[in-house]
A and B are shown apart, each in its own frame.
Chain A
């Protein structure tokens, strides 16, 4: 009797595994994130990159119509690639650029800014990576366009291209 239950359970378990693995074959490997736009930004407290002082989200997101939050790190090669785009965006006066330095060595990060220029009006630090998760970040670099009601209106996963800059500029305009 005991044996029979065991066998039935095993059969169920195996068919379940088969089903799942079979299904997994169909799903593609290209990942499309769910729509995270039109989402209200949660409040948070972080640390300023240069002054090391505590700073709240309300202090960060004030005084501008649009904000760009860019998650970056000096060890991330694509971030380096998108840096010129950020520099371009920093010239647009109606956008305030916020950098989120992700799990980085401050020394290397400063070196990068010195070398390629600093497009950000404020940089906050995310040493543990928790803040980026809270934002719904998928990987770096990632860029969020935020309006003055602190709503995320657009997300760019991966490095910003010329096209994304055009898109941002057309929204902000």
Chain B
């Protein structure tokens, strides 16, 4: 009750602070000195948003159902952990979290950019405040988390059980840090364009923010994918679902930017391209928010379908795009004479090629996601785009992408006259070809593209391993990330090719044989848990070496709201995951049992983690260079 009001008012105060900072920053831009009040008000703003967020958390913890958000998304019977994570497990709360991260990042930027041009700093604040004001208005007008309900309901509606998972409790905050980081890149880029400050120094500074968003986006996507694998029980980790695509697109764009900024830093090339990529990254993040929050895309992520929200984000998105394009066309001063001679065999060209490929992947995902929407509006025809589309369009190009990725880092900046270890690189190529052929012989399938893809990722794998043994420790972070990527592609591939599955209906006491394993459904056990009824099935799986594994897949029947979820039991080892999930068949003693053997599953997570660790190391180096 009290917390609710405090939260609401401090949110309004936060908006006031935003407008004040915006006006002050315009004034300081004219005076060419930074008004000291900007700093204090920015802190105040962060403080207000923090208070507001904390009060919402308190409302959730004490189950104050006079708050509409709490009423819609919580329940007294819920464990305290999910009460807290429920704060951002819904539309309103997640936007508040977004605001919190936005204001936090602005403060961090202010602290971190002391040595930079004053006007550049002021302009970045101005643009960032425009975004913050936009989000404040969005929260207050269309999705206020502090709507008051009277009379106070006695019980809440409960949190969607599928969201009651530790991975999902941390998935949104991490992803948001990534998204919000891209907003800071966007503001800083526009400021730098106006001040004509797109240069080596700028590249050095902006790279920190690019790395921060990149690392968090990578981990955020990974956690979401882990959640999908363990909780949804579909037996996969990536479904090319539009909502997944929407988080993948900024990631691809950011990856391109990360490499492009290197060229800018070393050679002062590709200025316009860097600007476009920065703008595109943020636009794609916003576009994702629009698609998910407006309810155009339906999925587990869609919290509520409210067209007024959609219209607000859409207008805001196009407002930002228009501003950025106007600024780009008026102020961008990359002249023809700035171009330097570029040699084909150089690092910058290989990075450029990498960018082209990434842009291609990006456009495939973009078209696959948006085309159905456009088609439906224009000719009222509904199609759905599934994995075959993405696999067919992306996989063949991945082969060349991987080969370029292995060769590129071996080239020098400016011009490579003599590739050292030329011989070694060629030998490695043949080795990986032979290994991949052997792998295929063993599996007994023949598919040229898959063989080539395995060869290409093995090539990258071997080349990066070789790099680890080279003398210089220089650029250790890049090696880890590239190594992680090759491992990722390899494990996804082998996982895809070697996975096998059996779906069968069993009742207690029945047995069935799958390949060389015997699966026995021993018993079931009913338990009453804190906020759900649990049905645990006991299965034993005996393999040909007489090793017996016990599987305990679980069905959870939640009371609030009444939903059944199935928790798969997954036995993870270094080389394969065994996955067993059961589902009820209504009015039947039979259970639908799905058993899957998925090789190298854990390596997908490990390699993604390596990718992120590489980014993190690079960030660490950056911060210590200063």
Contacts and interface: CB of A to CB of B under 8 A. Distances in A.
B22 interface: no
A7 to B, nearest CB: 6
A25 B505 contact: no
Contacts of A20: 373-374, 377-378
Task: Pick from A14, A20, A21, A111 the residue with the most CB of B within 10 Å.
Answer: A21
Contact of A27 (B329, B376, B503): B376
A74 B594 CA distance: 12
Given A26-B307, A29-B298, A108-B504, A18 B373 contact: no
26 contacts: A3-B329, A7-B329, A10-B325, A14-B322, A18-B314, A20-B374, A20-B378, A21-B296, A21-B314, A22-B311, A22-B314, A23-B377, A24-B373, A25-B294, A25-B296, A25-B314, A27-B377, A29-B296, A29-B298, A74-B503, A81-B586, A105-B503, A108-B503, A111-B504, A111-B505, A112-B505
A27 B375 CA distance: 12
A153 to B, nearest CB: 23
Contact of A77 (B295, B307, B325, B583): B583
A115 B325 CA distance: 63
B573 interface: no
A156 interface: no
Interface string B236-280: 000000000000000000000000000000000000000000000
Which 3 pairs between the two chains have the least Cβ-Cβ distance? A25-B310, A23-B377, A25-B307
Interface string B478-507: 000000000000000000000000011100
| Interface residue range, chain A | 20 to 34
A31 interface: yes
B448 to A, nearest CB: 21
A80 interface: yes
Interface string B290-325: 100011101000000101001100100010011001
A50 interface: no
Interface of A: 3, 7, 10, 14, 18, 20-27, 29, 31, 74-75, 77, 80-81, 105, 108, 111-112, 115
Contact of A25 (B311, B322, B503): B311
Contact of B295 (A29, A80, A108, A111): A29
Contacts of B377: 20, 23-24, 27
Contacts of B197: none
Given A7-B329, A111-B504, A14 B314 contact: no
Contacts of B382: 31
B400 interface: no
B574 interface: no
Contacts of B296: 21, 24-25, 29
Contact of A18 (B305, B310, B318): B318
B605 interface: no
B590 interface: yes
A108 B325 CA distance: 57
B426 interface: no
Task: Pick from A24, A27, A75 the residue with the most CB of B within 10 Å.
Answer: A24
Contacts of B294: 25
